[in-house]
Amino acid sequence: MKISGTIMILGSALLLGLFFYPLWNIRLEAPQYPDPLGMDIYIAGIEGEEEFDIQNIDGVNHYIGMKKIPKPEEMWEFNVFPIVIGSMAGLGILLGFLGFFGKISPHWFMGWLVLMIILGILGMYDFNNWLLDYGTDLDPKAIIKLTDAEGNPLNYKPPLLGSEKILNFTAHSYPRTGAYMMFIGMFLTLIAWFAGFRTVKTKK
């Protein structure tokens, strides 16, 4: 259980990377923006890749009546996400230590992972909802009002993952360092469970 516990500690500690590195990134590329405008999404707020990118994204978006990019205090997520991530990392590390000293069964590790996956899916669902709201809840006095073939207002939602063309912009939405550290961390906890499970089994 020593190896398994160590991997569990390591894996859940990797979550802490989210406090330093962005989780996600959305870049907007257009003929006039050969250097794309970009925003880094952290668990505690959104920052421009370049100093004035957020201001300039807001400037561009005002033509189609989009809301401004929210500041940390304007979205409850930016308060709750750090608490959730911090708690999960703490919990994972605690479980790892307990496992290391053989106090608990490795199935706790699996329990942690399942909880983390559920929370992750909820997080993604929430993020997607925000993107949807951001891309569709438009100012009725918007300067440029475009409709699709059926006459419905155009949807400017950036993709959750991947690249998509929105008017003159191409939006690229991809995970960043923080997310990769989280994925690796979660994968490590799976290995921790597997390793622990096997040791327990051989002992029996």
Partner 1 sequence: MKQLNSILFLFLLSILMVSCGEDDAKSRDSRSGGAMASNAAERVYVAPGEHDEFYAFLSGGYSGNLTVYGLPSGRMLKEIPVFSQFPTSGYGYSEETKPMLNTSFGFVPWGDAHHPDISQTNGETDGRWVFINENNTPRIARISLETFETEEIIEIPHSAGNHSSSFVTENTEYVVAGTRFSVPYPQEDIAISEMKGNFKGPLTFIAIDDEGRMKIDFQLKMPGFNYDLSHPGRGDSHGWFFFTTYNTEEAHTLQEVNASQNDKDFIAAVNWKKIQEYVANGGGQEIDAQYAHNVYDHETHTATSTMMNKVLTVDPRDVEGAVYFMPTPKSPHGCDVDPSGEYIVGNGKLSTDLTVHSFSKMLKAIENKDFDGDAYGIPILNFESTLAGTVKEGGLGPLHTEFDGEGNAYTTFFISSEVVKWKLGTWEVLDRQPSYYSVGHLMIPGGNSRKPEGKYLISMNKITKDRYLPTGPELEHSAQLYDISGDKMELLLDFPTHGEPHYAAGISADRVKANSRKIYRLDENKHEFAATSEDATKVVRQGNEVHVYMTTVRSHFAPDNIEGIKVGDKVFFHVTNLEQDFDVPHGFAMIGANTSELLIMPGQTKTITWEPKKAGVWPFYCTDFCSALHQEMQGYVRVSGKNSNTPLTWTLDGE
Footprint on this chain of partner 1 (rule: CB under 8 A): 27, 51-52, 55-56, 59, 63, 143-144, 172, 174
Supply the minimum distance, in Å, between the C-beta of residue 97 and partner 1: 37
Supply the minimum distance, in Å, between the C-beta of residue 164 and partner 1: 14
Q: Is 40 or 77 the residue whose CB approaches partner 1 more closely?
A: 40
Q: Is 55 or 87 the residue whose CB approaches partner 1 more closely?
A: 55
Q: Is 135 or 172 the residue whose CB approaches partner 1 more closely?
A: 172
Supply the minimum distance, in Å, between the C-beta of residue 168 and partner 1: 10
For 102, the token pair is 């053989």
Supply the minimum distance, in Å, between the C-beta of residue 126 and partner 1: 24
Q: Which residues contact 4 (CB under 8 A, 6 or more apart)?
A: 99, 106, 109, 192, 193, 195, 196, 199
Cα distances (Å, whole numbers) of residue 201 to 105, 191, 196: 11, 15, 8
**Phi and psi for 167 in degrees, rounded to 5?**
50, -130
DSSP state of 132: H
Q: Is 144 or 184 the residue whose CB approaches partner 1 more closely?
A: 144
User: For residues 19 and 17, what is the distance between their CA atoms, to the nearest angstrom?
Assistant: 5
